[in-house]
Structure 1
Amino acid sequence: MSATLAADAEFERRRLAGEQILFLATGEIGLPVLPELREHLVAASGRNAYGPVAGSADVRLAAAGYWSRRGLPTDPADVVCGPGSKPLLFALMLAVGGDVVVPVPTWVSYAAQASLGGLRSIPVRTRPGEGGVPDPAELRSAVRQARAAGGDPRSVVVTLPDNPTGTIAKPETVRELAEVARELDLVIISDEIYCDLAFVPADQAVSPAHYAPERTIVTTGLTKSLAVGGWRLGVARLPTEALRTRLIGIASQIWSSTAAPVQAAAAYALAEPPEVVRYVAAARRLHERVVRRVADVFSTAGAELAPVQATCYLYPDFEPLRERLDVAGSNELTDLLSNRYGVALLPGTAFGEDPRALRIRAATSRLYGETDAERTAALAAPDPLTLPWISAAVDRLTEVLTELTKESNVHRHLRS
């Protein structure tokens, strides 16, 4: 079971049981739907035919324009649409075949999808502060070792910007990755669904497609930037006709076509009219203000974490507090925070970490409000941290982390 979806289900169970939970475990973006986006969905609700497997001409044209405006010239014929970037990524692994290199830490589904497809995942650590992209030198070594042992690595998955760390690999690291991929004949599958949520222009993620266009697949979707995870739509940019043909063949057997009304809304959104640009900019400001404040709370408590550059995620490491906390690993730490203090987070093990590590992931995207009115206010607020429901959540986290370290310290002295 996906760790994030399992966390969502557990949160709902506890909420219905009347528990007060500070929920920092999900990737759900808690924001209202842009009204114009909803209008396009409703207007297309009568479209009930399957349509082309690769997606409608309108959505593929809009996606081509979206990438072209970001310096990746794209022909609509190179675009394939699917019911979310997650099934697209799974189908892409099947289309490429062979073993899959994944970064560590890694998004919760990459290795699981490889396993479901009968493929082997090869974990390779990222460089400090550059989540989402396997260290190119270690990538070269791991692939050579795997091939020498009879393995068949053919692809490497990267996330730009990164989930779970909220960081962005440097352009030089991405360039090195592209060079190693070309040297070893690897296909790069670049998951760029967070690319519009980088906080400042200097932190913009550089796609490996800029450096190795002939071997880089790029995926994105509406889920994160426009907060419509339940609508399920993703698009992929394919570098070769052969890969596109294989992907469409797999898609024809799995999902047939993406929901036509959602495609119509996506065609509008990917064309980036002014109201969409304004919405995404407001969401980006909100994420930045809240996640950086929460990062300060973890840092003040003594955890280490790289500066958050994008998204609503942060990845604190409690290793400096190990003796004071006296926990064996991230599973025990998150269990303690959840069961004793009502703060739900995800352990590093969900992202491929060693069970002994004390890294956890927090997501601030469910702190923006319980109602659409609150979420709309958060999106429009000059300083969302002044809103009472957001400030209360930050205060509660501060109290919990303060109490956690003090209580653990008392227990340690009592045992001594």
Structure 2
Amino acid sequence: MMRDPLSKKVTGLAPSGIRKFFDLVSEMPEAISLGVGEPDFDTPWRIREEGIYALEQGKTFYTSNAGLKELKEEIGRYLRRKINVDYDPASEIVVTVGGSEGIDIALRAMLDPGDEVLIPQPSYVSYLPCTVLADGKPIVIPLKQENEFKLTAEELEESITPRTKILVLPYPNNPTGAIMTKEDLEPVAKVVKEHDIFVLSDEIYSELTYGTAHASIASLPGMKERTLVINGFSKGFAMTGWRLGYICGPRAIAEQMVKIHQYAIMCAPTNSQYAAVEALKNCESEVERMRVAYNQRRRYLVHEFRRMKLDCFEPFGAFYIFPNIKEFGMSSEAFATRFLEEEKVAVVPGSAFGECGEGFLRVSYAYSLEDLKEAIGRLGDFVGRLRNIR
């Protein structure tokens, strides 16, 4: 009898709940999907043009492991401008294959077996499995709707043990749309410094905030040296398929991340890196145009959920809204499944983002206003039927 070829660590991981509904809707061409967090905008033309030009010029060779020098310099200028933090392009910036690789190599570079990683949830699906794969121990901090899903210093303090090494700070947040302002971050930073832990700050949605500018915990006094900032081009620049991100942090950690990246990846796609230089240099107006469109959709959804008396706090970041469906007495997966079957609209159950997401739905507004209006009309019909049944 052949021995089991599989790793128990890997087989023990649950598959992504987001992809489950994506796969279901792919088999229903008539369905409207509000499930995937991917901009509906094409990558701005000048970025595409630069990528094409790089190919035409034969710029198809490996770059250095940590990334193209010109791109790292441009990232440094961008972060100085946006979050007021200075990073040395030569030693503190690593270009990755999307922000997701940044999460993976940061955790693998920093964790020893049994080190604890604090993960506020609901949040992006990769943090917990990447912690497990890096032999760390994930510790979930359940966030509360009454706090607008922000992490409080009290919640953080209660979760810290002598084994705590890293806090994941996922803001602007996927799936809730929550943000944390400078005033929200200051007491959290105080606790982090008091307990000598590190922060993995996932800022992939930093370009998409509404009503207030994005704040990075790395910009607070004493925090740059204990923070890794993850960002990238997928969300703000509509470059999901280009697979390009970056992670910035202390030189000692960056050197070890490059080592893992070197063996597993070699370097990020070369033409994507040239295109990203153009994105950072010359595409702020295109990013702003997309942000304005997302904000219009956000305000429409907030208004419609209030009109149909569906409990929902107002999100101020990313392109998600997180309505509460606990009144209907069914699990979020059951609600989403029935909604898809009966109304042909796909949303993601909140439980896909952690147990404390149960009773909520993630609705993405990275879709046209026309699709959103049709989908919300169908949701209103569905909710109406459920309320009448009760």
TM-score (norm 2): 0.89
Task: Indicate if the aligned counterparts of 1:131 and 1:166 stay in contact, CA closer than 8 A.
Answer: no
Secondary structure at 2:214 match in 1: coil
Matched, 1:107 2:124: yes
Structure 1: where are the runs of 5+ without partners? 369-389
The equivalent residue for 1:242 is 252
Equivalence map 1:4-43=2 (5 Å): 4-15=18-29, 20-43=30-53
The equivalent residue for 1:373 is none
What code does the residue aligned with 1:115 have? Answer: V
Aligned residues: 367
Matched, 1:194 2:196: no
Equivalence map 1:94-133=2 (5 Å): 94-97=108-111, 98-126=115-143, 128=145
Structure 2: where are the runs of 5+ without partners? 1-14
Equivalence map 1:208-227=2 (5 Å): 208-211=217-220, 212-227=223-238
Equivalence map 1:335-350=2 (5 Å): 335-350=337-352
Task: Indicate if the aligned counterparts of 1:130 and 1:169 stay in contact, CA closer than 8 A.
Answer: no
Which shifted more, 117-126 or 220-229?
A: 117-126
The equivalent residue for 1:53 is 65
- How far did residue 130 of structure 1 move? 5.9
Task: Indicate if the aligned counterparts of 2:142 and 2:356 stay in contact, CA closer than 8 A.
Answer: no
Q: What per-residue deviation string (whole Å, max 9, x for no partner) do you get for residues 18-48 of structure 1?
A: xx21211110111112111111111112223
Matched, 1:76 2:89: yes
What code does the residue aligned with 1:50 have? Answer: Y
- How far did residue 131 of structure 1 move? 5.9
The equivalent residue for 1:397 is 375
The equivalent residue for 1:375 is none
Identity score, percent:
23
Task: Indicate if the aligned counterparts of 1:129 and 1:307 stay in contact, CA closer than 8 A.
Answer: no
Equivalence map 1:324-403=2 (5 Å): 325-327=328-330, 329-354=331-356, 357-365=358-366, 367-368=367-368, 390-391=369-370, 393-403=371-381
Inter-CA distance 398–50: structure 2 relative to 1 (3 Å threshold): closer
- How far did residue 354 of structure 1 move? 3.9
RMSD (CA atoms): 1.8
- How far did residue 232 of structure 1 move? 0.3
Which shifted more, 124-133 or 181-190?
A: 124-133
Task: Indicate if the aligned counterparts of 2:148 and 2:313 stay in contact, CA closer than 8 A.
Answer: no
What code does the residue aligned with 1:32 have? Answer: D
TM-score (norm 1): 0.84
For residue 88 of structure 1, the aligned residue among 97, 102, 105 is: 102
For residue 169 of structure 1, the aligned residue among 177, 180, 183 is: 180
CA distance in 2, matches of 1:401, 1:8: 18
Task: Indicate if the aligned counterparts of 2:54 and 2:60 stay in contact, CA closer than 8 A.
Answer: no
Secondary structure at 2:313 match in 1: coil
